[in-house]
Structure 1
Amino acid sequence: MYCLLENRALLKISGTDSEAFLQAQLSNDISKLDDTSVQLNAYCQHQGKILALFWVIKCEDDFFLSFPLDLLEAIRSRLQMFVIMSDVDITDITKKYIQVGCINETHQKALVINDKLSLIITDKKNINQFNMEPTVHWDMACVDSSLPEIFSITSEKLVPQMLNLDIDEFGVNFSKGCYPGQEVVARLHYLGSAKRRLFAFDLDSEVNIGDSLYCASSKSAKARGARYKSSGIVIFRIKYNSHFYCLATLEVELKDAKITLNNEQGPTLTRINK
């Protein structure tokens, strides 16, 4: 199945210093990226909070960064700030190419994301080569794969561990060099103190990115009289076959507790076991 991913920006990073530049900015080891796969990377600020999640693609001597369109201007400007005297060019090529999500497809141009999902980046003139299905199928596959995303509403709110990026070093490499926020991310890793993780949920009611998860039995919710303190946050949501699904962070100790949306009277979320 092929789906046109129209809501994603695409930046090209080129120049003789492009690999070194990205290595110094992103959470994963860029030197390990080949031209057959997509590498997930967190772009963090100095406190370790994620500004954006990039799908990084190597294209000969250049690199492509794919991420949600609503972050394009903020991220392009921030990356440009750190170019300084390096031989690095950052070009917005969003309108030049199309991005096609592949679900359980084998294609010679497909770049592997995981065992189910892959990505094709191709010229717009090739769009008719694909029998596109509605994007909701891609979104559902992302929920099934627990593939996280960061949008403007959740930018600078989460550290990589909350999105499970540290597990099997899927999105964070702990032996590479420094990058913004690296000390905070590494300290959480080596102390084993990730109290919140990413989980998939379903529910019968409308849910939106940025909504809070609430647990009446949470110690943090009761602390200092904070009756409605959040125990997590929704980072991705879809409506699929008249039902709602989402990916959300949640305190690990509450994963089997009753979780409601936004407050104690909100709709109940059912965790999807994987």
Structure 2
Amino acid sequence: MLETPHAYVLQRDNLRCVGPDSTEFLQGQLSQDIESLTDLSSAWSFLLNPNGKLCAWLRVRRISNEEYILDMEQGFGRLALDRLNRFKIRVKCDIETTQSEIIRILGEGANEIKESFVDSGSVADLEWASLEGFDLIGPTATTPEGCTTGTGDQYDYVRITHAVPKMGSELTEGIIPAETNLVPKGVSFTKGCYTG
């Protein structure tokens, strides 16, 4: 258990989806209900291959009705881009790859720190069931005062201790969503059909 808030800098691959058909296109490709997102809100989602097996576990963040950022573990952006492009036929949605750093704040007291950033538009919910936490995202994200800076190895220890799977480690291509323990967080059962 982290008795004080810790900050971990994580490298992420991003797909920036822009265009008038972005919402409709992503609604048909991701397991989460994209149409229910409001500006600057986010949700976790699966990107599945046509056979129903995992391509990527990612967070989709709505910037506007015509712009979304999909962020995922480093090393999976190109795979996700190739998968989306396979089904991007006569769709007005340009997709580009970028990379970014996020600051993940975990531990007791994280929710109090989060309150000071809520109005900035840079907060993304984390929703680890057993630990307070959130992500600071965007180009202006910096480590907040009152946080201990943690290392990558320390982050992996905390993540594994709290049973949070990671793409490339516990989550690999070829598994099905039911094997991940992430279905309640990443699948909408009311949105209708999507690829996979």
Name the TM tier (shorter chain).
Answer: 0.7 to 0.9
Aligned partner (choices 135, 143, 151) of residue 160 of structure 2:
143
CA separation of 1:120/1:85 partners in 2, compared to 1, >3 Å: closer, same or farther?
same
CA distance in structure 1 between the aligned counterparts of 2:69 and 2:45, rounded to whole angstroms: 12
Amino acid at match of 1:46: P
Normalised by the length of structure 1, the TM-score is: 0.57
Contact 2:56–2:76 under 8 Å retained in 1: yes
Given the superposition, is the C-alpha separation of residues 66 and 90 from structure 1 closer, same or farther in structure 2, using an over 3 Å criterion? same
Note the C-alpha offset of 1:150: 2.2
Distance 1:138 1:34 in 2: 30
Cα RMSD of the aligned pairs, angstroms, is 2.5
Note if 1:114 corresponds to 2:127: yes
Look up the equivalent residue of 1:111 and give its one-letter code.
A
For 2:185, the aligned partner's letter is F
CA contact (8 A) 2:125 2:135 kept: yes
Equivalent residues of 1:111, 1:118 under 8 A apart: yes
**Equivalent of residue 59 in structure 2, options 55, 72, 76:** 55
Provide the C-alpha distance between the structure 2 equivalents of 1:146 and 1:36, rounded to a whole number of angstroms: 27
Of all paired residues, the percent bearing the same amino acid is 25
Q: Which residue of 2 aligns with 1:270?
A: none
Q: CA deviation at 1:136?
A: 3.3
Q: CA deviation at 1:144?
A: 4.2
For 1:63, what is the secondary structure of its paired residue?
strand
Equivalence for 2:3: none
Q: 1:11 aligned to 2:28?
A: no
Higher relative contact order (CA 8 A, sep 6+): 2
Q: Tell me what 1:80 maps to.
A: 85
1:101 match: 104
Contact 2:45/2:186 (<8 A) preserved? yes
Query: What amino acid maps onto 1:64 in structure 2?
Result: I
Relative to the length of structure 2, the TM-score reads 0.77
Larger Rg: 1
The answer as to whether partners of 2:47 and 2:55 remain within 8 angstroms in 1 is yes
Pair 1:159 & 2:176 matched: yes
1:176 is paired with a residue of what secondary structure?
coil
* Cα displacement (A) at 1:87: 0.9
Kept in 1: contact 2:46–2:54 (CA 8 A):
yes
- Judge conservation of contact 1:46–1:180 (CA < 8 Å) in 2: yes
- Tell me the matched-pair count: 175
The answer to whether the 8 Å contact 2:16/2:95 transfers is yes
CA contact (8 A) 2:48 2:54 kept: yes
Q: CA deviation at 1:12?
A: 0.8
The CA deviation at 1:153 is: 9.1
Q: Distance in 2 between matches of 1:17 and 1:39?
A: 19
Structure 1: runs of 5 or more not aligned: 182-274
Q: Secondary structure at the match of 1:158?
A: coil
SS at match of 1:53: strand
CA drift at 1:65? 0.9
Which of 85, 92, 98 aligns to 2:97? It is: 92
